[in-house]
Amino acid sequence: MKLRNLGNYEPALAAGFISSFEGCRLSAYKCPSGVLTIGYGHTKGVSEGDTCTKRQAEDWLIDDIRETQALLAHYVNVPVSEGEFVSLVSLAFNVGVGALTKSKLLRKLNSGDRDGAAEEFLDFDLANGKRVAGLTRRRKKEHDLFLLESLKAQLPNIV
């Protein structure tokens, strides 16, 4: 398994995973946290009544992933696998990079505790202080993908 710096992956690698959870809505709506959103979780500059095309939504998704990746790359100090990249960017895309900057997840990852970092995904399933079933499902999928990649990274050391 190849490990790379988080900033060296193509944002499109995470688009399918993220879009499967975000879904696509071509009219502005309020997400469970009360934030105006459009397309695939796009929140920047959204106003009540806004609409977009499917193509705009796809372009915004890649741009938003790229921005999330660039911000997050400043805080991830270890090389990551493709699956770890997708999991980390998906989480940061959904909860915001700021929520991760001082998290146990990043502390564990940066100290080499990948298994411990994977478990921390499961703690990010609240919206307005309440557990949300959709977020719990998403965090479990991120956790599983991250852990699978972590296990693959350890296999050469086990054999």
Indicate the fold that domain 6-158 takes in CATH.
Lysozyme (1.10.530)
Catalytic residue among 24, 31, 67, 82: 31
pLDDT tens column, 30-50 = 987 789 999 999 999 999 999
Nearest C-alpha neighbor of 16 from the set 48, 51, 40: 40
Q: Respond yes or no: is residue 58 known to be catalytic.
A: no
Token reading at 114: 């990948």
Contact yes or no for 28/37 (Cβ under 8 A) = yes
pTM of the model: 0.89
Q: Respond yes or no: is residue 120 known to be catalytic.
A: no
Token reading at 107: 């502390």
pLDDT tens column, 81-92 = 999 999 999 999
Contact yes or no for 48/99 (Cβ under 8 A) = no
